Every structure is written in structure tokens, then in C-alpha cells.
Amino acid sequence: MKEWRDSDGGSGWSFADLGADLAGIEFADRLLTKRLSLQAVSRDFRLDDFLPPLTGLEEGLPRDEVVRRFGGMSAPRMNQTIESLRKTILECPGFRGGP
């Protein structure tokens, strides 16, 4: 995962970057599986409909801090935090009303 690499001497772990990645993956998946209409998106797209505000999220954390605070990549606390971010993304207007 890019954020894990970034936490090891790069720009640091960023939940905002991860949130943008997850929102983009969900958006692409819904287009590819036809749960979003390409025609409707091309006509009515608004970024705020698919990406929640990502302010106030942890940014620039070095790896040792990520491990200390979240337990590392596969730790329960990290999984809970990522799942919470996913739920926030799925509450965006553009993702509501679909699977």
C-alpha cells in the first residue's frame, strides 16, 4: 500500500490520501459494474458527491508513529479506522442508494 511505503521516510502516512484513493476505487468500481451511469456522471458530476471532506485526518505520520498509534497495517485498530473511513465515503450523496 502506498501510504505504508510513504510512512517509511517518504511524505508520511496520510488518511486523507487513503480516503481519496478509496473513494476513487469505489467510484471506478461502480462505473465498471454499471451501478453508476457514465452518462449521468458525465452530465452531473460534482466532486463533493463522491468525496467527503478529508480535513482533520491524520497526515504525515512516520511509520513508527503509525505502528504505535494504530498497530500497523493489519492491526484491528487500523482496520477499524479504515473501515470508518470507507463508511464515511459510502455516505456521500453519489454513492447512496446503491450497493
Which range marks the domain in which residue 79 is found? 2-90
Q: Does residue 76 fall inside a structural domain?
A: yes
d(CA 24, CA 89): 10
Confidence of residue 77 (pLDDT cuts 50, 70, 90): very high
> Are 91 and 44 in contact, with CB atoms under 8 Å apart?
no
Q: Does residue 96 fall inside a structural domain?
A: no
Q: Does residue 95 fall inside a structural domain?
A: no
Question: Which string of b and e fits 15-34 if b means at least 16 CB within 10 Å?
Answer: bbbbbeebbeebbeebeeee
**What's the predicted TM-score (pTM) here?**
0.88
Q: Total domain count for the chain?
A: 1
Question: What's residue 6's pLDDT?
Answer: 64
Q: Does residue 99 fall inside a structural domain?
A: no
Q: Does residue 58 fall inside a structural domain?
A: yes
The total of other beta-carbon atoms located within 10 Å of residue 93's CB is 11
d(CA 86, CA 74): 16
List, for residues 16-68, the tens digit of each pLDDT value. Answer: 999 999 999 999 999 999 999 999 999 999 999 999 999 999 899 998 999 99
